[in-house]
Chains A and B, each alone.
Chain A
Amino acid sequence: MTAWTDDGELEVLTFGLGGETFALEAVLVREILDLMPETQVPGADRLAASVINFRGRIIPLADLRIAFGMTPQEDTTDSRIVVIELVLDDEPVLIGLKTDRVNEVATLLRDAAEAPPAIGMRWPRDHIRCLVRQGGDLIVLPDLPALFTTLIARGGEPTIH
């Protein structure tokens, strides 16, 4: 996971999801796509229930709403897929993230960052790296590697019923 620079800054891409603003490190982003046909993978975890064809490669499409316990919503014309590359178990993995809307590339300041509070939050703490205050808004930085590593580790038993 990329760290803050020496100046305490982090370049991120912010996006909207379920009424909240999320951010992920800009260096992880490979491409931003319009919605495209998805193929459901029966038996897969709801967090990554389908796959898409990303330039001839078949990559999982993840819905972060599931990880943060948000209710699923209909796609809109603003919906986009952000394709990111993560290194999971020493293996580079491309993952598509569904977002309600992509905002902008922004610079976050470490001084404005806070660790997730122990109470007062309905989201699982270990899915969040930190919260950053920015212009009256609260931006959530999810811990994506942790999120997807647990997903891989959780596998193993057949989930078909």
Chain B
Amino acid sequence: MSATDPIAAFRIEGGELLDEVEQALLDMGHRLDDMDLVNAVFRGLHTLKGSGAMFGFDALAQFTHHCESAFDKVRKGVVPATSQLVAVILSAQDHMRALLDGRATGGEAAGDEILAALEAAIAEAAGAPPAAPAAKVAGQGWHVVFRLPADCMANGTNPLMLLDELRDLGPCRIVALTDRLPTLEELTPTHCHIGWDVTVETDEPASAVEDVFIFVMDDMELAITPLAVDATEAPADPAATAPVAAPATAPAAAAAATPAAPPPPAPPAAAKAAEHVRVPAERLDELMDRVGELVIAQSRLSQIAHQDGGLALRSVSEEIERLAGELRDTMMVLRMMPVASLFGRFRRLVHDLARDTGKAIDLVTTGESTEVDKTVIERLFDPLVHIIRNSCDHGLEKAEDRVAAGKSATGTVHLSAHQAGGEVLITIRDDGRGIDRARVRAKAEANGLIQPDQLLADQELLQLIFAPGFSTAAQVTNLSGRGVGMDVVKRTIESLRGTIEVASIDGGGSTITLRIPLTLAIIDGLLVRVGSGDYVIPLSAVEECLELSGEEDLRSQGRSLITLRDRLVPFLRLRDVFATGTPADPHQKIVVVATGNDRVGLVVDQIIGNHQTVIKSMSPLHRHVGSFTGATILGDGSVALILDIAQLVALAQPREERLRAA
């Protein structure tokens, strides 16, 4: 795909704008009078309207325009922000998203409903009874006075078209206002110096007149006053009848931009765009492939240079080695994104969960600037949704129970991220009731996951919540508790080569910690040889390496177990697993690997050494071969397969245990 489709690009940009607006609105939930937030919302809506119109999303532009107008009143201090208003705009924001995606069905009606709610919210905020809808005010017509910004024609506005559109509303009397015409020597021929005074006879509401100016309204002077004030009860301020500069209030106020109004703060957005380049992720992947090839070619070059090259060739080769290494590091950084984009999406989730469960829930996030590989971020979303839902639904108690337990009525879910070495730790902590160990145990026994009298370490017991088909919730709610989910969470995390830990304090809440590698594209591995093939074992899984002595090898033929610090560890002969048909190396090694609490020894012929590799996925033709997670290209251009430790560990478990787990 290419990035040149402007509609697609706008959809992406619009989605991001809506995300920003949503964040600001959610923040406003706590800080209603924070002007920075109000401005942020206004700015987002304003940009969305402008670019929406530019790309032909007219329905979106019109709808957004009404929301923007309403918010403009808040921004100008005409009405205070209320939580009701914020809630309406939030729902409006969802509607805009639907319009943006082009999946709004029955859009008009839904939109009108929201706009009506918006008007009611504004009216209430203003402390006035809801104003009669503008449509009712329409008398015999409108008196419209407008002046366009001087450079409007450079921006593509054609005043004649605006006048034509006004004429479409009804018979017009148009008078040009030439009072601001400069003298001839000061006159810039490309500027628009003329204003217009239009009397239009129509039954259309004021908003119809406003709509004519929808795309130029922000920078222009516009005053719309009813033609016959006495024709209706005139809900407007008497000032509304005053000509030109006096800003009208009530229905028309939405459209009134006084000459003194500050220009919309668009420049920051423009500056931001200049600093960022939007690149499709797959181009980055391609670049990554090229860099990977470069590194391989470079290592061949350095091999040649060291064999039979002169000093000059060696120094060039070393220079290229350094550059290729740096290029690869830079490439890695390019793929990194702050987790803020991920965390931001959960604020709405928690907001909605709080509403659905009737609990008061605060989401606190820290460490949003921690950076993780883009692919990892995408794949973390679903697991985190599950965990947060569980925390909100099962973990946090109802307000009255919390107060009874001596806690604050508002429950808190704390989402944090920080980097530790090559891993990112993502922690989801709630201050709810904690995991009920007795219930977990009872449930696991009922499901046959454990024996009634089986001794379990605390961590083992808690890990049971990730077993397939397990759920402690007595009742199934529509949020969680269907017993699907936590096992999927665990699988997803493991597919990211991560681990998941649970801690829980009775009555004090639970903490789930995800440890995720920084990147999926690169792996620190231990290169081993089995038969004639090279394989990579992820270094993060390796516990230790030891030698399998010849006599122990013979002795263990029957049972495939070794004693490691008083623990029996089963082991697998990879030569047998891979059916290499080669004789064993006289000095076989055992690589002890672990996932979770299971450990297993892998017997290999040789350990070659540490190897940092770029991971390539397996072809669809090989995806069903379970023992490999991917492959990598070695320095000499040959391919080594990367072992799937979880799969091998499962394979090594005694047969009956495997049957029980299945």
Contacts and interface: CB of A to CB of B under 8 A. Distances in A.
B626 A43 contact: yes
Interface in B626-662: 626-628, 631, 633, 637-641, 647, 651
A160 B651 contact: yes
Range, interface on chain A: 35 or more
Interface stretch (B290-298, B323-331, B494-502): B290-298
Q: Which 7 A-B pairs have the closest CB atoms?
A: A155-B624, A42-B578, A56-B293, A39-B639, A60-B621, A158-B626, A60-B619
A59 B622 CA distance: 10
Interface in A44-63: 44-45, 48, 51-53, 55-60, 62
Contacts of B621: 44-45, 48, 60, 62, 93, 95, 148, 151-152
A33 interface: no
B289 A41 contact: no
B577 interface: yes
B625 A41 contact: yes
Contacts of A45: 621
Interface residues of B, number: 32
Nearest to A37: B638
Contacts of A88: 620
Interface string B254-270: 00000000000000000
Contact of A160 (B289, B292, B577, B618): B577
B623 interface: yes
A53 B625 contact: no
B443 interface: no
Contacts of B296: 56
Contact of B622 (A48, A89, A154, A158): A48
9 contacts: A42-B578, A51-B622, A53-B633, A56-B289, A56-B296, A152-B624, A155-B625, A160-B578, A161-B579
Contacts of B616: 57-58
Nearest to A50: B639
B422 interface: no
Contacts of A19: none
Interface in B580-632: 580, 616, 618-628, 631
A72 interface: no
Contact of A57 (B289, B640, B647): B289
Given A42-B580, A55-B293, 11 more contacts: A39-B533, A39-B631, A41-B625, A43-B626, A58-B616, A59-B619, A94-B619, A95-B621, A155-B623, A155-B624, A158-B625
Given A48-B621, A160-B627, A39 B641 contact: yes
Nearest to B631: A58
A151 B641 CA distance: 20
B3 to A, nearest CB: 20
A60 B622 CA distance: 8
A156 interface: yes
* Interface hub of B578, B638, B639 (most chain A Cβ within 10 A): B639
B633 A56 contact: yes
A53 B622 CA distance: 15
Nearest to A38: B639
Interface in B533-571: 533-534
A43 B578 contact: yes
Nearest to B619: A60
A103 interface: no
A91 interface: yes
Nearest to B292: A56
A55 B289 CA distance: 9
A41 B580 CA distance: 11
Given A52-B639, A156-B624, A161-B579, A95 B290 contact: no
B631 A51 contact: yes
A134 interface: no
Contacts of B641: 39, 41, 51
A155 B621 CA distance: 8
A155 B628 CA distance: 14
Contacts of B631: 39, 51, 58
A159 interface: yes
B575 to A, nearest CB: 10
Contacts of A62: 621
Given A51-B622, A95-B621, A160-B577, A43 B293 contact: no
Interface in A138-158: 148, 151-152, 154-158
B625 A43 contact: yes
B115 to A, nearest CB: 42
A39 B622 CA distance: 13
A158 B616 CA distance: 21
